[in-house]
Amino acid sequence: MRNLSLIAAAISSIILSGCQQTQPTANQNNAGKSPTAKIGTMDISQDEIKKADKIFNDIFMQNVMRSPVFQTYLGIKDDYDKWDDSSEKRNLENQALRKKNLNLLLTLNDASLDDKTRTSYKLMKQQLENQIADFKWRLYSYPVNQMYGTHSMVPAFLINQHQISDIADAKAYIARLNGVPTVFKQLEDNLQLRAENGIIPPKFVFPYVIESSKNIIQGAPFDNGKDSALLADFKRKITALKISKKEKDVLIAEASKSLQESIKPAYTKLISYFNKLATHADERDGVWKFPNGETFYNNALARTTTTELTAEEIHQTGLDEVERIHNEMREIKDKVKFKGDLKAFMHFMKTDKQFYLSNDEAGRKEYLNDATHTIEVMKSRLDELFLVKPKADLVVKRVEAFREKAAGKAFYQLPAPDGSRPGYYYANLYDMSAMPTYQMQALAYHEGIPGHHMQIAIAQELEDMPQFRKYASYTAYIEGWGLYSELLPSEMNLYSDPYADFGRLSMELWRACRLVVDTGIHAMKWTRQQGIDYYTKNTPNAKSDAIKMVERHIVMPSQATAYKIGMLKILELRAHAKKQLGDKFDIRQFHDVVLKNGAVPLNVLEQFVNQWIENLS
């Protein structure tokens, strides 16, 4: 999963919505009502194209400048000392802004635009229309949970995004520390508003968020322990500055004071509120429990998959894929001459010590080194698959200690557009028993190269493309590409042995199970335990993986359905292109068509591929 499913959701909401933060489940496009990628032989007006480009840019930058957080992601420091406003008053302003921007967009004569600009027009129009329509669902999310939330975003953002290159940047960091009480007050107001509307996270969520919050205020200057995560980060960044020791000492003292007087009281108050809210939580897990929950979930599925597939159809697709992958796993079992059935083979893979590194610093270092090596080897083979490669670098990194216990297994963080920050592949090495070596390569391919880093960095680096499209978040496309990227190295015989290829299949199996369990929980009223049991029965993954995945389904309804639906569509399009083009088919050109327009709905991707086929036929 890209932290994009977390970061990019916030980004996509910022780009067009006026900065409202939404749960990272849905992209912004009407399923089944695709933008038009080709316009035929209309009269094209260069003036109208210029007008359109200006409107695209004006809307994008207007909303970027309303979001200090997104500014920082883009390397803009205009509001470097501020946080986003997440108040309900701001949400209402954002809705008014969307309507205003839609009216502005509709002044364009789309019939006079060229193909590319008209596609951008349709994408922006439908994104705005969907966000306006979905405003009624703005409370249908859990702003704080074990996967993401303001409580963990604040330290992660300061540590990973707020760079300090001079004294002014340091003072902005301190100002952001002092701004946290206001951020948390708005968060509490938002949680209370949801509670009043019957939307409270399930009971299991609260121990996670309370523990994560407590972790932030442990260590110096809060107690006599080693430096807390935030103080250690600030000191590290200040130490690197070329300023006098006296200036460094003053800044560190100011930051310490802010941590004690702003951060600690803010987190203490928030933890107290979490404890109070937890008394009203129950153990019903699906969104069917919400008012109009079924309608909300169907809408979320449509947004996430950019299809018109029903919950029942997605559920059945998952069941079919589980059966197919189990059969391919049996072939590998027989290939390595394992004596026993698939269940026994899965148990062997789950428990045999040869597939697990030591649960200590040496084992973690070895894992990071092996993942880095896997990516470096893949880099050397990219010319066989791609015409364009990303300029931004990629770094493999361990998830920070303060959030690793609750964080997902692996995720990706996009690079800075100006090249000042590389892309990061985060591996969660908290529990090495949940990170078997036979899955290491597939994870690296998915999160790194040729997966998320390849797709996202290229999208950011596209020239002559409206900014809002460079940062578009269509989950089925993005995660579908990530899962497809696990298969590509298998087709090139890059997996080191049959066990590693079994690891690839086990991860694809995991995504197929997601179709079954997500719909099971939210549409068929499965319990949390039913979901856990399904994963443990049908996959070789650790039980801890199953628990985390089911809990992710619960707080991010529909999001996990994107992977397999997206991958299946890309494979379908590739097979169709091969059949139509025969000897003219070039895998590099196919990948170029898939990547060169940034993230798009699956139905628009299909139009691009069909147009490419037509041009070559």
pLDDT (0 to 100) of residue 455: 95
Asked whether the predicted pLDDT for residue 41 surpasses 60, the reply is: no
Which one has a higher pLDDT value, 3 or 178? Answer: 178
Contacts with 581 (C-beta within 8 Å, 6 or more apart), sequence order: 613, 616, 617
pLDDT band at 471 (very low <50, low <70, confident <90, very high): confident
Contacts with 601 (C-beta within 8 Å, 6 or more apart), sequence order: 27, 29, 31, 34, 35, 306, 474, 476, 477
pLDDT tens readout for residues 546-586? 998 999 999 999 999 999 999 999 999 999 999 999 999 99
In one-letter notation, the amino acid at residue 193 is: L
pLDDT (0 to 100) of residue 404: 84
Q: Out of 91-105, 230-244, 464-478, which region has the weakest mean confidence (pLDDT)?
A: 464-478
Q: Tell me what the mean pLDDT of segment 202-222 comes to.
A: 95
Query: Is 18 in contact with 132 (CB distance < 8 Å)?
Result: no
pLDDT (0 to 100) of residue 406: 67
Q: At what angle do helices 498-523 and 311-335 cross, to 10 degrees?
A: 160
Q: Tell me what the mean pLDDT of segment 126-147 comes to.
A: 95
pLDDT band at 464 (very low <50, low <70, confident <90, very high): confident
Short-list 287, 312, 286, 302, CA closest to 134: 302
pLDDT (0 to 100) of residue 38: 45
Asked whether the predicted pLDDT for residue 33 surpasses 50, the reply is: no
Tell me the average pLDDT of the chain: 91
Q: Tell me what the mean pLDDT of segment 184-191 comes to.
A: 98
DSSP assignment string, 548-599? HHHHHHHHSTTGGGHHHHHHHHHHHHHHHHHHHHGGG--HHHHHHHHHTT-S
pLDDT tens readout for residues 370-386? 999 999 999 999 999 99
Asked whether the predicted pLDDT for residue 30 surpasses 50, the reply is: no
pLDDT tens readout for residues 382-439? 999 999 999 999 999 999 887 787 677 899 988 888 888 899 999 999 999 889 999 9
Which one has a higher pLDDT value, 37 or 176? Answer: 176
In one-letter notation, the amino acid at residue 335 is: K
pLDDT band at 5 (very low <50, low <70, confident <90, very high): very low
pLDDT band at 166 (very low <50, low <70, confident <90, very high): very high
Question: Are β-strands 423-427 and 394-398 bridged in parallel, bridged antiparallel, or unpaired?
Answer: parallel
Taking the C-alpha atoms of residue 30 and residue 589, their distance in angstroms, rounded to an integer, is 28
pLDDT (0 to 100) of residue 249: 97
Which one has a higher pLDDT value, 1 or 15? Answer: 1
Cα 271–274–278 angle (5° rounding)?
145
Asked whether the predicted pLDDT for residue 226 surpasses 60, the reply is: yes
Taking the C-alpha atoms of residue 67 and residue 97, their distance in angstroms, rounded to an integer, is 14
Task: List phi, psi (to 5°) of 85.
Answer: -90, 115
Percent of the chain's residues with pLDDT above 90: 85
pLDDT tens readout for residues 486-540? 999 999 999 999 999 999 999 999 999 999 999 999 999 999 999 999 999 999 8
Q: Out of 1-5, 57-61, 483-487, which region has the weakest mean confidence (pLDDT)?
A: 1-5
Q: What is the pTM of this model?
A: 0.86
As given in the structure block, the two tokens for residue 212 are: 């994560």
User: Which stretch of DSSP H or E encloses residue 52?
Assistant: helix 46-64
pLDDT band at 1 (very low <50, low <70, confident <90, very high): low
Asked whether the predicted pLDDT for residue 215 surpasses 60, the reply is: yes
In one-letter notation, the amino acid at residue 498 is: P
Cα 19–22–27 angle (5° rounding)?
100
Which residues, listed in sequence order, are joined to residue 227 by a DSSP beta bridge?
Answer: 220
Sheet bearing 423-427, strands edge to edge = 394-398, 423-427, 410-413
pLDDT (0 to 100) of residue 26: 33
pLDDT tens readout for residues 235-251? 999 999 999 999 999 99
As given in the structure block, the two tokens for residue 141 are: 């999310």
578 burial class (0-12, 13-18, 19+ CB within 10 angstroms)?
A: middle
Rounded-to-5 percentages of helix, strand, coil across the chain: 65, 5, 30
Query: Is 45 in contact with 109 (CB distance < 8 Å)?
Result: yes
- What sign does the dihedral 158-162-166-172 (CA atoms) show? negative
DSSP assignment string, 414-436? PPPTTSSS-EEEEE--S-GGGS-
Asked whether the predicted pLDDT for residue 300 surpasses 60, the reply is: yes
In one-letter notation, the amino acid at residue 170 is: A
Taking the C-alpha atoms of residue 486 and residue 484, their distance in angstroms, rounded to an integer, is 5
